[in-house]
Structure 1
């Protein structure tokens, strides 16, 4: 009887270990599609991966700056996660001075938190994703399909002559299918554009409020309106179409 019980117990243990192994594999696989980065030379927030300006992209690591010699660690006026940042010294939607992250193909939500800046935009895959984020530690997010196994992102104009900084980046896979929800693009002037912080600004353009009246499970809203002059709006629109 003891032998039978022992054998039965061994089978149970082996089964549990096998099941746990399956769960572990799933967890590891999921982790590869979700990242939280804390940029700058200061302390790293719990749950985030610290990234200094000098960290070059490494294939075995799966992330890093394409040209780290064009990056600089800077301080920021926030606290904790937003107490430091990195500054992009070269920029533009066609710049190769990007932060690269290896990802499996699919659809991702990317949350961006800037450091200190007066007006900056975010480009990914060579296209503007968010334009004219204003104020220190501004936060916004966007959806992007990945079809080549890597996200390439940078902070750029904005406003020429001002610093373009990045304090934190959160990346989360939301679908294995690399197709965004149907998209409503908005263009316009200061009566339409976003004002930051998005959830507590004293003023807001109507484009900033449209998500309250749209089913965001079906549509994503991309507010590309700008309070910049008409020439800047034209240049951003041209870059968006490329």
Structure 2
């Protein structure tokens, strides 16, 4: 019986530049699809392990681990990044598969999302922001010659319970976009942000802010109406697959010649 040998993704450069995508924000980007209650065990939640066909691994899709090693990407993508919660399926793998089918090549996903994090924790100088920039910078080092193609951003639910946070959202998001482009030296880095599908009292104010950002190369896709889990906060497995396709369509439509 032959055993398949896979080249170390950290060693050998592929023929074309690795296409890098940063996945960032909070829990709905990290993925709670398929996370279910686990009543008789501690912790009280677990991932059910179901991986839809759209999210299956592929040899051309890698992820940057928390330890800054490239490895084959598979669900849950954020398992060693969003470590305080149980991670399930998010939009990242579905997105990468959908883009791969259209453009080919090798992909590098850089998960950075952490559940329950308000915008103020993503300000320049804060740990989450600095870690995202560090991981993004690392992703293009080495022999493989990767190129950051876009930042996918899904965050804002944590800013909907305070009027102050909701009102500050637009300026704060625009500042984040400016900062990350400056710090990565990518002044026209494509940003695809998701208008939130859930939240608290000031949800519509945050959604308004997200849809009102008019900066070059910033696209907003809307998750409103997507199916939510019983907690009325997190997207279901099916909704995450739908979002992955929507993000891929937005990227291919706006940013692929």
Structure with greater helix share of residues = 2
TM-score of the superposed pair, with normalisation by structure 2:
0.28
Greater relative contact order (CA < 8 Å, ≥ 6 in sequence): 2
TM-score of the superposed pair, with normalisation by structure 1:
0.29
Structure with greater strand share of residues = 1
Query: Which one has a bigger Cα radius of gyration?
Result: 1
